[in-house]
Structure 1
């Protein structure tokens, strides 16, 4: 086992989730993440934590989506609901055996699956908002994820652990420095009423008055590096063209263009995968509104890897998410989906706050 995986487990339990003896932890992951789950489990036991593991098998999900009826696809076991209601923390570990396993699944089946999981998301959002539950999502590098990123496994491991500063002597100290700097940015943004984003084929504005900007510094995503809020739901006006493909369940949607009026998507096109884009927007009423606007700040992540855990953090980018917003930022938008799309700002991109230029060519100038 790579010693960096053990170090990552320690950072997540001690810094990201900030767990203590007696806490109950649910660890979720797939077959390929088992080596890392063992390291988390081992560290949790040493810390006096009570861990339980939910190990998913990718082929079973494929079987369900291909052959299950609507009721079966939407079914959530009572044991899953109980776990979400009773644990103190959830760690979700991503790392696929085959990133394209669900590529050919009918989009309507994917929509049903999202609707079924809404039951869990309601519990999750309520307990997170009430500070009863902690959550962190991370990735264990696998061959499939490395291939998706056009890297060897060794290169991808260096990329993943480097993005989280795991290869530094004291990663926790580094993330505490990130927290301090982004606290400063968030305090300034909290005073602003309107945000306008301008880039290639993009001019979009939204009101954020009364909404809280959140500092993402390694607590809920790891690695991390962004600041975000949820715009006032009916305030989004304008158009945006996303620079990179949108990835949903292994399927790529290329050259996405959205136009908003009174907060709602009124026009949506894509050069490839437009059918899936329209299906996602039709998931429910909340899917047509923005749940998030965010600015990536991790300049250690320099390349697009088709994995939004890393891509949305790329220093010099912004991302918008259709669907579910975040209660902690003040969002009132609920949806069964939350789907991020990425826009590069490093070549001429600008962000204005209440008419003042605060960000240019991929960096804050405040």
Structure 2
């Protein structure tokens, strides 16, 4: 594990009490030194004294007290100094609450690293065993993990766009991977009209001003390389303000996905630069036709086929066993999956299996009436 500077601000001392204490000590020391020089004098007898003698003589003098005027001058200088240092840090515009949350003194965050290529192999193998139909996505992540393990850099999966039918577990795959890697994860739905603001944040001056979820993810966990998932990027629209300004999620993502611009990306809310280049971006879609080409050119694109009945069965058995379901409950789930297409008139999806397993778990844990 290493540390990476994420919040791009200067960290200067703005502790009012500490600065006042230092100025008081400096003023007392300066006056004692001047008094020692006056007592020694500048005649022929004082020529034999050097700086060492002056310091010894100064140390024998009592500390002089500070007057009310001295304290007022010190307080005024401290206010000016703190104001100038805050402007130099680039945080003078922030409220105390925002500044406390931003915590510039903790600008460097922990970055999780891959222990070895063997570790990367084990993570990929476990991920593939749990969700084998997502093999192509797992393979992309596997290669990225082996590369960062060789380099000794922070764990990162290059921007990955998973395209495939709905309900096959694309988002779940990302969550399982985040768990296997031990990284925090957050998620946003591109189908929501305000998704662009949800990711990038809303600048000050708006009633809904707030930082974006990726920035919140960094500040909440203090981990430099989390995973962020954007669902259904194919449904991302364009949000328009009351003043006629448009804002597109796909356009907002370009600056966050490009390493050169992501290193100094400025948060619209905090108006402070963040290094966002260590975030692993995972996108899901059902159709690539509506995704802009500039966005596609920055992603690794993998196509996932429809999940088969056998893969659903294997997943249900494996996940149900991990949940502690009885054999009877697992058989009931599989029987329900077999009959469901005839009843509902549609294919069963990964989501259906998860819901059935959760329902079976709730029923098994429910107390019986006597």
Q: Which bin holds the TM-score, normalised by the shorter protein?
A: under 0.3
- Larger helix percent: 2
Q: TM-score, normalised by structure 2?
A: 0.25
Q: Which has the larger radius of gyration?
A: 2
Q: Which has the higher contact order (CA 8 A, sep 6+)?
A: 2
